Amino acid sequence: MKRWLVALWMLLATLPAVAVQLTKDAPEVSLRGHLEHFEAKNRPLPFDAIRQERFTTLPDFRSLGYDTNDHWFRIILTRDADAPPRWVLSIGMPELEEVDVWVEQLNGAFIKHELGYHRPYENRPLQTRLFAVPVDVSPSAVTEVLFRVRTTNAINVSAELWQPSAFVANETKGNFYRGAYFGILLIAVLLYAILGIRLRDVTMAAYAGYVASMALFHLGSNGYLPVLLTSHQSWFSDALPRIGWLGGSISIALLWDKLLDLRQHFRRIHRLFLFTIFLNLALLLFAVMPFLVTASLLYVVKLANVLNSLNFFIGIVLALVFWRRSRRVELLLYFVAFIIPALGTLINNAANQGYLPQGVVTSYLYQIAPLIHVLVMSFGLALRLRQLQHDKTTAEHEAAVAAQRTEEQRRFVAMLSHEFRNPLAAIDRATQMVQFKTPTLPPPEAERLSQIRANVTTLSGFVDNFLMTEALEHGGLPLSREECAIRSFLENAIRQQGEAAERRIALRVSPDDARHSLDVTLMNVAIGNLLANALRYSPEDSPVEVIAEQSELGLRIEVKDHGPGVEPDELPRLGTPYFRAASSIGKKGSGLGYHFTQRIVSAHGGRMTARSQEDEGLTVGLVLP
């Protein structure tokens, strides 16, 4: 029984279509069920030959899938005597590349119109985004209209007949609604771009790029790009949607990477997203210059499409996973926001493959989904922004409390250091008196006295450095600059490190007679700290290099050792009071020498840098302008 029904349906489909009757009271007539179709498989046929072929009636507007064959469509028209003679035939979808229309005239001849997404916009008989042509219908005989479609997109063909006034009114209304639609997307782009720039937030900027790519892509699918870009239309009409597609893929990968902080939580997925971003960036060149595309490059494009889809799927899954862990509402909103356009895309793809007929849902959901997505995503990003503001306020409060405590500690230590000076001086004087009055002390006791004096000297120097740094920070110690020879200045600083240290230090000055204006006393302390650190944290038999170079930019002095160096993540913390790198474990030190030096160099208007590589030691450079 089923076989007979199929055979009957095929027989009915091959019967000639009944002519569409146009009446005065019908301003718009859908051609659903009236379109006849013929596919010229692998053999393009001329117009005269195609009229002899057998057409099949299409029951509804349904995509015929994807292929590169010529697809012919035919309509038979007739009208009542009181119906208007001129009508407008509107053919969609707007992204069909080539649409050739033959309209039978009242004298029986045919006039041809060459339309299409890739055809010059000026050639369209009616200047609209759709493929519309005027049709004069005879009241006494049938009027035949044929059109041929060539496209690399889905063969989605729908058609309607309109009375001219109704067509203009419908297009005006449609353009108004679509203008509001694109206006909302444009406002979202500007809003998130401004927020991204003002807040220096990559997430907001990436989302602005994603919304912009959606707007650009839908401008093409709605047929507005040929209208807006009449010059170089074919290049722009193809390049801009491709740029929108690649830009959207880049933006969404960057968006998920920042929203979910993949660099911290999932490093491998973070690297996958970065690779996809750079791959899409590379493909942008071929999007704007399609003549560079080769057959082998198409495999790269397919790989990029697979990675883009994979990244999208990973992003929404991780958003749902993170929401289940933390119950943060914005994560659930991100998930819902991106599921909506994914659903719209799925339905659109099903319609393009012919699994679903073209209707209100399939035609409009794909375009309405981005708008709903923006509204839901905006709510989620607003919650994120509120959380960021709360975190910022909390961090500022904690920073203020920490700064206050640090200031109190510093004042306490400064006061304590000041009070240490007199006792230390008394200890040093008492030790000197013991050495002076008892010159015949046994060697062990004499050695202990020398150690006492050495420790007192070290502690006194530490106190003096600390008080000097405090004075510099609060402007209580003005610089006493003087012109001096750099070589003599550095040689003196090296001598103060002792004879054993002096033999390890290699000095190079360029030019040899270089001179510079600086506070000799303070800079002597600064260079002394750097030398002491380099000597302390490198092997006793390894050299320490001191390089001074003078140029138009100023004086640059580098102190380089051959010790264990400093880990890359520890370099930014150098100069923090009391911080000591992991390589300094087991060595004497307070973690203040570098800090003191940094303050002295800053007081001279200079800057300090430090770099370290594995097995190459630490190099500290200072530049005095």
CB 99 within 8 A of CB 131: yes
Which amino acid would we find at residue 624?
A: L
Confidence of residue 541 (pLDDT cuts 50, 70, 90): confident
Fold for 14-162, please state it.
Answer: Immunoglobulin-like (2.60.40)
Residue 295 has pLDDT above 80, yes or no: no
Strand, helix or coil for residue 160: strand
| CATH class of this structure's domain 177-398 | mainly alpha
The pairs formed by 579-584 with CB atoms below 8 angstroms and a separation of 24 or more are 583/537, 584/537
Residue 606 has pLDDT above 50, yes or no: yes
Q: What are the residue boundaries of the structural domains of the chain, listed by start?
A: 14-162, 177-398, 407-473, 482-624
Please give the CATH superfamily to which domain 482-624 belongs. Answer: Histidine kinase-like ATPase, C-terminal domain (3.30.565.10)
pLDDT, tens digit, for every residue of 382-431? 988 888 888 888 888 888 887 787 666 666 555 655 566 667 667 767 77
Torsional sign, CA 214, 220, 223, 227: positive
The per-residue DSSP string of 279-312 comes to HHHHHHHHHH-GGG--HHHHHHHHHHHHHHHHHH
Q: How far out from the chain centre does Cα 15 lie?
A: 57
Which amino acid would we find at residue 85?
A: P
What's the pLDDT at 160?
93
**What percentage of the chain carries pLDDT values higher than 90?**
24
CB 77 within 8 A of CB 20: yes
Residue 620 has pLDDT above 80, yes or no: yes
Residue 95 has pLDDT above 70, yes or no: yes
Angstrom distances, CA of residue 222 to CA of 130, 241, 385: 9, 11, 34
Give the integer Cα–Cα distance in Å for 534 and 621. Answer: 12
